[in-house]
Structure formats: C-alpha cells, structure tokens
Structure 1
C-alpha cells in the first residue's frame, strides 16, 4: 500500500529553489545534498493534499515557514561550501 503523504516543507523548499532558478542551475547531486541538509534543520509538517493546505493555511504561518526555509537554505549552502573544500 502506498500512502499519498508528503512533508510540506519539502514542497515549499522545492518551490523556493525553482523560483530562484536553482533547480536548473545546480548539479543534481549538489541539489540533493542541499535539500537534505536544509530539511534536516526544519520541523516536519506532513500533508495529504496540497490543494487543501493552500486553502486552509494561514498567511502569517506560511510566511514564517518560508522565512525558516530561507534561513536554513542559507546555512546549508554555507555548510556545503565549507565542507567541499575539505
């Protein structure tokens, strides 16, 4: 049995990466590492239906989540940059 659940932070992170053009710009291996390191800094928020989430979500909460993602993404990029030199 396959359940249709996903982490909403994943969805928002991928939207951010797409909006910034990074999905097309960065190598796939680096992108996968970047997503993992970023998501490991964030809480999980599981959803079943994305359309329901868009309908019921609070604007302030969404903005807070996007800010958390942006901050985690910046830290992750710095972390990966530093550790690629080693």
Structure 2
C-alpha cells in the first residue's frame, strides 16, 4: 500500500525558494542541502491533501509557518556559507 502523504513544510519551502528565485539561480545540490538543513529546523506537518491545509488552518497559522520557514532558511544559508570554501560562497550568496 502506498499512502499519499506529504510534509506541508516541504511544499511551503519549495514555494518560498521559487518565489525568491533560488531554484533557478543556485546549483541543484546546494538547493537540496539548503532544503534539508532548513526542514530539519521545523517540525513536520503531514498532510494527505493540500486542500486540507486551507480548510483546517487559518491565515494566521499559515503566516506563522511561513515566518518559521523564512527564519530557518536564513539560518541555513548562513550555516552553508560558513562551511563552503570562499570560491563557492561567491556563487551561492
């Protein structure tokens, strides 16, 4: 049996990365590392259908989740920047 469940934070993070233009301007491996580090900072929020989140959560809760992700993303970028060689930092800043 294959269940169709997803972590809603993954969906929100991909939206944020797309909105910020990071999916197109950063190397794929860097984005994958960035996403993993970011998602490890927030609790999982599993959903069955995307429409469920719009029905069961209010706008304030949605905005709080986005703020959490933006903060985690900022920390993740700083972490990766501190770990990469100087030449790699120039392309991922």
One fold, TM greater than 0.5?
A: yes
Q: 2:4: which partner in 1?
A: 4
CA RMSD, 1 decimal: 1.2
TM-score under structure 1 length normalisation: 0.94
2:62 aligned partner: 62
Any gaps of 5 or more consecutive residues in structure 1? Answer: none
Q: After superposing the two structures, state which structure 1 stretch, 14-23 or 52-61, moved more.
A: 52-61
Q: Which residue of 1 aligns with 2:84?
A: 84
Task: Give TM-score, length-normalised by structure 2.
Answer: 0.87
- Give the Cα–Cα distance (whole angstroms) in 2 for the partners of residues 21 and 31 of structure 1: 11
Q: Aligned-pair distance for 1:54?
A: 1.9
Question: What corresponds to 1:42 in structure 2?
Answer: 42
Q: Report which of the two structures shows the higher radius of gyration computed on alpha carbons.
A: 2
What residue in structure 1 maps to residue 72 of structure 2? 72
Q: Which runs of no fewer than 5 residues in structure 2 stay unpaired?
A: 87-93
Deviations 1:14-48 (A, max 9, x none): 00001111111110000000000000000010000
Q: In structure 1, what is the equivalent of residue 24 of structure 2?
A: 24
Runs (4+) of structure 1 exceeding 3 A deviation are: none
Deviation at 1:56, TM superposition (A): 2.7
